[in-house]
A and B are shown apart, each in its own frame.
Chain A
Amino acid sequence: MTTTTTERRAAVRETAPLLSVRDLTVTFQRHGEEPFRAVDGVSFDVRPGETVGLVGESGCGKSVTSLAIMRLLPKRGNKVTGTVNFEGTDLLSLSDAKMRDRRGRDIAMVFQDPLSSLNPVVPLGVQVAEVLERHRGMSRKAAMPVAAELLKRVGIPDPVRRLRDYPHQLSGGMRQRALIAIAVACAPRLLIADEPTTALDVTIQAQILALLKELVEDTGTALIMITHDLGVVAGLCDEVNVLYGGRIVERGDRHPLFRDPRHPYTNGLLASIPRLDAAGERLTPIPGSVADNLPWDHACAFAPRCSQPIEICTQVTPQLEVADGRALRCHNPVTSGWSGPSAGQTEGDVAR
């Protein structure tokens, strides 16, 4: 399995990126307050068919990154700079109307809370049909059977009857399936899933992840998986970007990254995942919280919480350095390979 994955990865890496984010910076400015950079020079690529993870704690800028890519941040009170290149066009400089045509057709999004992301007063079928009408120019009548087909595709039983149901009549897992059906209705080339499983209970989480994985493999859609849970990433992502304080601190392919995390933050995140083979061992959460962050301007934001800070960490901003397919922003990386389970085991233990 590992060989095929490696080969597939090598092939994927050759292809030109589908989405290429460069120096994306989002600054929030609310009156009478200091400007706040929620996303600070983030760059990454997503190739066709690839699944890329954006991982980090709450507040590190994951959702803001995805909303900036979709151009869905509020019109006022923030400034977005950098480029978001999607198949050769910079999304950030498209007109509003052109961007609207692309949303849902080329790039779609699945949100965290499936109940509040569905319109409570519109039947499910109409909500699925609406996207088809919008981007495929279908009539309501023609769209309905397609909508039923889509609901069936995402594993909703008795889809024809479900078309007339309202969101509150479905279970949480069903609702998330329905949202996924709506998102993939027009076969977008990129799907952004912002913590799609956080609001669901554990067994349903696994089912939804399996569904996403299946869809990605069948349709060749690229996926940006946003999560604070490395366990979710373990079973799904080809490449993982670890975010801290609005910046990428480490990036690598899933297996090498899990086998050999170099950034103390990544290492800390891995150490805080419950593992089946480590029953009895204590989990070691990362001490402190984001409130302890130093400003990136002349320090490493993570330094106060780091397990192995050195003097320079509080004086000089570490740069993102790339070597052997691994990008790392750290003055004092973890050296000895972390003696955890191999990535294969992690996948088996955590994601299923």
Chain B
Amino acid sequence: MSDSPKPTNPNPTNPIARYREARKERIDSLAQLSARDRVAVGAGAGGPGSDWTPSPDEVSVTESGTIEEKPGVSLWRSAWLRLRRNPVFLLGLTITIIFVLVAIFAPWIAPKDPVTGYLIDQVRRQTNPVPGPQPGFPLGGDHLGRDLLSRLIVGSRQTLIVGVLATFGGFIGGLILGTLAGALGGWVDSLVMRLVDVMLSIPSLVLALSIGAVASRPSQWTLIIAIAVVQVPIFARLLRGSLLAQRSSDHVLAAQALGIKRGPIIFRHMLPNAMGPVIVQATLALAVAIIDAAALSFIGLGDPDQRTPEWGAMLGQAQTYIYDHPHLAYYPAICIIVVALGFTLMGESLREALDPKTRR
């Protein structure tokens, strides 16, 4: 059984195996967030993967008969109360909000048209390939005389679109596979999890790269698909673990005791309660998708249309001028890093706030 979250071999010498185990362990620990506090902490006998039903002794009821941490909706609320005062989360949130607003309103914010070569007559292939900053062009132009600032601003759109669509695709794929595995169990589960484990054992960028390279005509869509495919096994494993934790929960047992059919049990009683970790993962996945998208565009597997600005592609084009005009690379690189950092800070503090183990 692929059930147990503990690594089969605690200290694999093979680096790939070690990579795979570390990745799985991280996903599984995230999946446990959907279990109620006491399931995650209390039931030492079994993680989310075992058939063990915690006996009612383990219900942590205080002497006065009240239950300390309330799960469900109020779990989110108590997480929010902690997050509201967490500077790391607020920083991540601020970066993210600014980024999203800029991306949405880019055409109106950008001072110039990003594709017109305003400064093309200043470009001298040998002596001055990149026009410097000047009035109206605070960051200067690129090798085709286009306004760098406007290209950066409009480029955020591409990043947002690719990041969101790729994460969404990965989420949907993972939702389907994870629900099949976690809800049906049995051989479906074994089959799906084998597939997922194989995919997880390939480093994500290598996988995305090979998918991107297979496409006959690279485009924005091959980029999105490649990155989405990489996210699928992560979401699938996460959701399955989260569903298994739900399967042994009291309210699912209570619903079964009422004769509720399998479909409603899965879709009304298990899935909505299993989504917490998935939301956290989606935030983190956005950061990864943005970096992966930049990396793939950098090596030319992205949108071949050079006119649409894209941070990764801009970074790629800057290579030629890296010694004399490094700023051409710095700006898109900083944008990528800051935005990815924003999502990561937000996701990590969300995870921490929801995790009963790191609480208090």
Give me the interface of A with B, judged by CB distance under 8 Å: 58-59, 63, 70, 72, 74-77, 100-105, 108-109, 111-113, 115-122, 130-131, 134-135, 166-168, 172, 179, 182-183, 195, 198-201, 204
In the complex, residue of chain A having the shortest beta-carbon distance to the beta carbon of B256: A72
**Cα A75 to Cα B185 with chains together (Å):** 11
Binding site for A on B (CB under 8 A): 36, 51, 53, 55-57, 59, 61, 64-67, 70-75, 249-251, 253-261, 264, 268-269, 272-273
Report the bound CA distance from A109 to B70 in whole Å: 23
15 A-B pairs besides A104-B257, A112-B59, A116-B36 with CB distance below 8 A are A58-B57, A59-B55, A72-B257, A100-B259, A102-B259, A111-B254, A115-B67, A116-B59, A116-B71, A116-B251, A120-B273, A122-B269, A195-B56, A199-B65, A199-B67
Contact of B256 among A103, A105, A121, A182 (CB under 8 A): A103
A109, chain B: closest CB distance, angstroms: 4
Which of B253, B256, B260, B273 sits near A130, CB closer than 8 Å? Answer: B260
Are B59 and A134 neighbours in the complex by a CB distance under 8 Å?
A: no
Cβ contact within 8 Å between A168 and B257: no
21 contacts between A and B (CB under 8 A): A63-B55, A103-B256, A111-B253, A113-B56, A113-B61, A116-B71, A116-B249, A116-B251, A117-B254, A118-B251, A119-B255, A119-B273, A121-B72, A130-B258, A134-B258, A135-B259, A168-B74, A172-B66, A179-B254, A182-B258, A198-B56
Contact among A59, A113, A172, A200 with B250 in the assembled complex (CB-CB below 8 Å): A113
Closest CB-CB distance, B332 to chain A, in whole Å?
A: 42
Q: Which residues of B contact A105 (CB under 8 A)?
A: 259
**Measured between alpha carbons, how far is A121 from B251 in the docked complex, in Å?**
11
Cβ of B72 and Cβ of A168 under 8 Å apart? yes
**B73 / chain A contacts, CB cutoff of 8 Å:** 120-121, 166, 168
> Which of the listed residues B56, B67, B74, B256 has the most CB atoms from chain A within 10 Å of its own CB?
B56
Contact call B269/A200, Cβ cutoff below 8 A: no
Most buried by A among B67, B70, B258, B261: B258
Compute how far the CA of A120 lies from the CA of B257 in the bound complex, rounded to whole angstroms. 17
CA distance A121 to B268 in the complex (A): 9
Complex interface: chain B residues within 8 A of A74 (CB): 51, 53
Main SS class of interface, A: loop
Known A112-B56, A179-B254: A201·B259 in contact at CB below 8 Å: no
B72 and A200 contact, CB distance less than 8 A: no
Name the residue of chain B whose CB is nearest to the CB of A70: B257
Q: Is the CB of B261 within 8 A of A134?
A: yes
Q: Which of A75, A101, A135, A199 contacts B59 (CB 8 A)?
A: A199
Tell me, rounded to whole Å, the shortest Cβ–Cβ distance linking A195 to chain B: 7
CB distance from B187 to the nearest CB of A (A): 14
Distance to closest chain B CB from A27 (angstroms): 14
| Residues of chain A contacted by B257 (CB below 8 angstroms) | 70, 72, 103-104, 108-109, 111
- A130 and B264: CB pair below 8 A? yes
Contacts of B259 in A (CB 8 A): 100-105, 131, 134-135
In the complex, the chain A residue whose C-beta lies closest to that of B45 is A30
Q: Chain A nearest CB: distance from B302 CB in Å?
A: 39
Q: Beyond A168-B73, A200-B65, is A77–B51 a contact (Cβ under 8 Å)?
A: yes
The interface residues of chain B lying within 8 Å CB-to-CB of A179 are 254
Chain B residue with minimal CB distance to A58?
B57
CB neighbours of A131 from chain B (8 A): 258-260
Residues in B with CB closer than 8 Å to A135 are 259
Q: How far is the CA of A105 from the CA of B51 in the complex (A)?
A: 27
CA distance A166 to B51 in the complex (A): 29
How near does chain A come to B274, taking the closest CB pair, in angstroms?
A: 10
Closest to B1 in A: A76
Cβ–Cβ contact B64 & A115, under 8 A: no
Q: In the complex, which residues of chain A have a beta carbon less than 8 angstroms from the beta carbon of B249?
A: 116
Shortest distance between the CB of A108 and any CB in chain B (Å): 7
Interchain CB contact under 8 A, B70 and A115? yes
- Residues in B with CB closer than 8 Å to A182 are 258
Closest to A111 in B: B254
- Taken together as a complex, chains A and B put the C-alpha atoms of A72 and B259 apart, in Å, by 10
A116-B64 contact, Cβ under 8 Å, with A77-B51, A103-B258, A103-B259: no
* Minimum C-beta distance from B108 to chain A (A): 39
Q: Which residue of A lies closest to B252 (CB)?
A: A119
Set of chain A residues within 8 Å of B269, measured between Cβ atoms: 119, 122
Complex contact B51–A76 (CB within 8 A): yes
Q: How far is the CB of B40 from chain A (nearest CB, A)?
A: 13
Contacting residues, chain B, for A104 (C-beta < 8 A) = 257-260
Q: Which 3 A-B pairs have the closest CB atoms?
A: A120-B72, A104-B258, A103-B259
Cα distance A109–B259 in the bound complex, in angstroms: 11
- Nearest CB to that of B77 among chain A residues? A168
Chain A nearest Cβ from B245, distance in angstroms: 13
Q: How far is the CB of A284 from chain B (nearest CB, A)?
A: 23
| B256: chain A residues within 8 A (beta carbon) | 72, 103
Q: Which of A75, A105, A168 has the most CB of B within 10 A?
A: A168
* Cα A182 to Cα B9 with chains together (Å): 47
CB atoms of A168 and B70 under 8 A apart: yes
Contact: B250 with A117, CB < 8 Å? yes
Cα A111 to Cα B253 in complex, Å, equals 9
Distance of A170 from chain B, by nearest CB (Å)? 11
Residue of A nearest to B249 (CB): A116
- B51 & A119 in contact (Cβ 8 Å cutoff): no
A50 to B53, CA, bound (A): 30
- How far does the alpha carbon of A120 sit from the alpha carbon of B328 in the complex, in Å? 52
Q: Given A101-B259, A130-B260, A134-B258, do A116 and B268 touch, yes or no (CB 8 Å)?
A: no
Contacting residues, chain B, for A77 (C-beta < 8 A): 51
Alpha-carbon separation in the docked complex, A204 to B36 (Å) = 25
* Distance between Cα atoms of A101 and B57 in the complex (Å): 30
For A108, give its contact among B61, B65, B258, B261 (CB under 8 Å).
B258
